[in-house]
């Protein structure tokens, strides 16, 4: 389709008719051409993408109240695999490569069904034979049908005297903690499987040998025939090629004890026992994790695919925070430009102490000195424990910029700031800062930036005198232009000697 007038074409899709100028890169609209041109200077630094912003006044808060209820059924599963050897050629030692030395092929599976009602629990199911994956899916579909039948039979509500009193005197929903009202009235929320009352909610909410992990010779079992062996493989056969490790004498003795005590006849039967132990331990450990999570956070982790998703919900729920969402495209790009990643370097620092307790090296005529090795850990945890932005995002006016003294802003103040500044890196600091320069930048490294030694390495390793055009996060001693930085970082930079040339 030919579009003769891009701005007119997109203006028909907008509710705000005052937007007459549109960005080709992100399709955002602007009220005048000057704003569009300023926006394009930043937007051009990112890939083409249509950006959908939240609506004005939209916030982010915890609303996933259904995830506070324990999931009635969970299935824990595990597979065991043959490690078939793979023939491959030797890689080029001068190039990075991945060596494939074995291929996993499942030969058995095990699973255990756990329910909030112990009547519906199942012992571990173990299968070893042909078509492992197909049989696993078939078993799961059968379990699904059985579980659906159970869930379709809603148990009648079991109401105790305590539940009656709880209902009578409840003032707010036990899940979302909001007060009851004529629109948000109270109801008895019960478990459809057990029939027991979970709590009074609002109508908006209603909806020994085998106790430890075993050991198994994974690399040894590369064919089905080895599963028929009538004895435990030797200790050497338990060698782990990937980790380049042997099992301990204690672990091998444990495997032998399991074989003898459980009267195992073949390695295949030993594998079944190992798999059953794995599945049962997985179920026990995760059920305990669910108990702790429901007790501490009132959330069932089985509702989530990842731990970060679970921890995000836990944060929103426990803090009760209401987060404002950025609705200004230029403000969003401004913040994104300040996200650079983390500096990754390997430092080999040399330090020598004149320690009087080290008789071989101590020089009594020299000043005494000692070495202490310190490691700053939990840096992310410390940062996330500081004051964090949550709302009321606004651009500063010119008058506010003039009045603001960056050096006097408090670290724990009620307002935070992100600045765009030009910074001067005084040459007097270059020597003392050269090992770890302040204010790193994302840069395309050019050959002329390299030292003679690095240029020689580049030539010897690649046979070229050119570099890829991939941006790298680079600490450097250059002056900075339009550098976006959080005010507490900026205060540190100024304290350590950098100078603000311009605050834009």
263-314: pLDDT as tens digits: 888 988 888 888 888 898 899 999 999 999 999 999 999 999 999 999 999 9
Give the model's pLDDT for residue 212. Answer: 59
Decide if 51 is inside a domain: yes
Decide if 410 is inside a domain: yes
Please answer whether residues 239 and 199 qualify as being in contact, where contact means their C-beta atoms are separated by less than 8 angstroms.
no
pLDDT by 10-residue block (mean), the chain, 504 residues? 71 64 80 81 75 83 83 94 82 73 90 91 92 96 92 74 75 72 68 70 54 75 86 86 84 83 84 86 92 94 94 93 92 92 79 91 93 86 90 92 90 92 96 93 87 86 77 92 95 95 73
Q: Which of 312, 335, 358 is the last residue of a domain?
A: 335
Residue span of the structural domain in which 56 resides: 6-60+325-335
Q: C-alpha dihedral over 468, 469, 472, 478, to 10 degrees?
A: 110
343 and 329 housed in the same domain = no
Q: Which of 335, 366, 389 is the last residue of a domain?
A: 335
Q: At what angle do helices 33-43 and 329-337 cross, to 10 degrees?
A: 30
Give the model's pLDDT for residue 206. Answer: 42
Helix or strand holding residue 78 (H, E): strand 73-85
Q: For 416-444, what is each residue's pLDDT tens digit? A: 999 999 999 999 999 999 988 999 999 88
Decide if 383 is inside a domain: yes
Decide if 399 is inside a domain: yes
494 and 430 housed in the same domain = yes
Decide if 432 is inside a domain: yes
Query: Nearest Cα to 40, choosing from 28, 54, 52?
Result: 28
Q: Which of 300, 335, 370 is the last residue of a domain?
A: 335
In angstroms, rounded to a whole number, what is the distance separating the alpha carbons of residues 179 and 253? 61
331 and 362 housed in the same domain = no
Q: Which residues contact 323 (CB under 8 A, 6 or more apart)?
A: 59, 60, 61, 390, 391
Q: For 316-366, what is each residue's pLDDT tens digit? A: 999 999 999 999 989 999 999 999 988 887 777 788 899 999 988 999 999
**Phi/psi at 83 (5° precision):** -110, 80
Decide if 67 is inside a domain: no
The tally of domains found in the chain comes to 2
Give the model's pLDDT for residue 13. Answer: 63
Decide if 401 is inside a domain: yes
Give the model's pLDDT for residue 438. Answer: 96
């Amino acid at each position: 389709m030919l579009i003769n007038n891009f701005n007119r074409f997109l203006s028909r899709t907008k509710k705000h008719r005052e937007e007459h100028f549109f960005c080709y890169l992100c399709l955002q609209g602007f009220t005048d051409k000057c704003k569009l041109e300023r926006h394009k200077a930043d937007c051009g630094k990112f890939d083409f993408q249509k950006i959908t912003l939240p609506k004005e006044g939209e916030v982010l808060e915890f609303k996933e109240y259904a995830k506070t209820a324990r999931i009635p059924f969970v299935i824990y599963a595990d597979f065991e695999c043959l490690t078939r050897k793979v023939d491959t050629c030797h890689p080029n030692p001068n190039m990075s490569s991945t060596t494939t030395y074995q291929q996993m092929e499942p030969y058995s599976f095990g699973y255990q069904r756990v329910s909030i009602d112990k009547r519906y629990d199942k012992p571990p199911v173990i299968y070893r034979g042909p078509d492992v994956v197909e049989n696993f899916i078939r078993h799961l579909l059968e379990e699904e049908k059985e579980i659906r039948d159970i869930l379709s039979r809603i148990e009648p509500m079991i109401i105790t005297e305590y539940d009656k009193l709880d209902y009578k005197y409840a003032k707010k929903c036990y899940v979302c903690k909001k007060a009851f009202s004529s629109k948000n009235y109270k109801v008895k929320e019960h478990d459809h499987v057990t029939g027991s009352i979970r709590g009074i909610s609002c109508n908006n909410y209603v909806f020994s040998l085998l106790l430890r992990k075993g050991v198994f010779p994974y690399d040894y079992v590369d064919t089905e025939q080895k599963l028929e062996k009538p004895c435990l493989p030797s200790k050497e056969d338990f060698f782990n090629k990937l980790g380049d490790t042997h099992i301990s004498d204690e672990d091998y003795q444990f495997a032998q004890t399991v074989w003898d005590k459980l009267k195992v006849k073949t390695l295949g039967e030993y594998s079944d026992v190992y798999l059953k132990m794995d599945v049962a331990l997985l179920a026990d450990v995760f059920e305990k994790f669910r108990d702790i999570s429901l007790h501490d956070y009132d959330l069932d982790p089985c509702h989530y695919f990842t731990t970060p998703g679970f921890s995000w919900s836990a944060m929103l729920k426990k803090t009760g925070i209401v987060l404002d969402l950025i609705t200004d495209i230029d403000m969003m790009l401004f913040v994104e430009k300040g996200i650079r990643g983390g500096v990754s370097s390997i430092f080999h620092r040399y330090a020598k102490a004149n320690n009087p307790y080290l008789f071989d090296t101590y020089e009594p005529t020299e000043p005494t000195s000692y070495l202490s090795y310190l490691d700053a850990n939990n840096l992310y945890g410390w940062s996330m424990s500081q004051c964090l932005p949550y709302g009321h995002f606004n651009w500063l006016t010119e008058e506010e910029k003039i009045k603001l003294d960056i050096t006097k802003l408090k670290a724990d103040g009620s307002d935070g700031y992100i600045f765009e500044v030009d910074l001067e890196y005084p040459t007097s600091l270059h020597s003392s800062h050269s090992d770890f320069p302040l204010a790193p930048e994302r840069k395309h490294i050019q050959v002329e930036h390299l030292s003679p030694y690095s240029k020689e390495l580049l030539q010897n390793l690649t046979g070229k005198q050119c570099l890829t055009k991939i941006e790298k996060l680079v600490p450097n001693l250059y002056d900075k232009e339009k550098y976006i930085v959080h005010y507490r970082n900026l205060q540190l930079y100024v304290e350590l000697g950098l100078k603000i040339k311009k605050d834009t």
